[in-house]
Structure 1
Amino acid sequence: MRGDAFDPGCPTRLILDRIGDKWSVLVVLSLTDGPRRFTELRRLIGGVTPKVLTQTLRAMERDGLLTRHVFAEVPPRVEYALTPLGLSLGKPIQAITDWAEENVEAVVAARARHDGLPA
């Protein structure tokens, strides 16, 4: 079954909300090279609170984008890794990230012009 993002009742919109969230995007980018622990993710992403990162990770796990593996150690060690579905999202997210990084100056300048501020 293929969804229709223009249909207000289509679950595709829920998925677009997930992958359009900046924290989810940054988690995917952080995990493309392999599993990471919570503190590694938080350090890499920067600016995210532990509460928001926890909520993001739980939602992504629920959506099947990542797995949470708890190691039976003292103290417990937890690692997060992308599932095959999450890995498949990595390429489109990387393409959008590349576009954003290449065009950030033009967008900032356009905003300044629109707002009547010096560029």
Structure 2
Amino acid sequence: MKVKVVLPFLKENESDFKVHCGRGSTDTFLPLRLFLQDQSKFKIWQEEHTQKNFQRKYILSLIYWHKDEWIFAGIYESISVKETPNGPSKYRYETKLLDVGTDLIGKMIIGFKKDFRAL
């Protein structure tokens, strides 16, 4: 079943979405561990970037689980972005978790073959 069938909001707002595949650069499972510890820690991790990655209104947030399998971590609205002068992250986003599909967060596995860096 396609995720757009389960979450019609994705189909209705298709052109306004960025898919974020959470996978640590040096520690593949860092996003998953943060998510399991406390979803707010994952949110903070997701909001820090070296590039302007969230240039769309909504973010479909996924976390690496296994090869070609991703855990649904929610749908976020990208509120704003600020450039940070110091630290490893160059940009800090402010995002808000939407009420769409919250009952599926951490419970739905999405099959997605990601063989590229950005989407």
TM-score (norm 1): 0.32
Structure with more strand by fraction: 2
Q: Which has the larger radius of gyration?
A: 1
Structure with more helix by fraction: 1
Q: Which of 1 and 2 has higher RCO (CA within 8 Å, sep 6+)?
A: 2
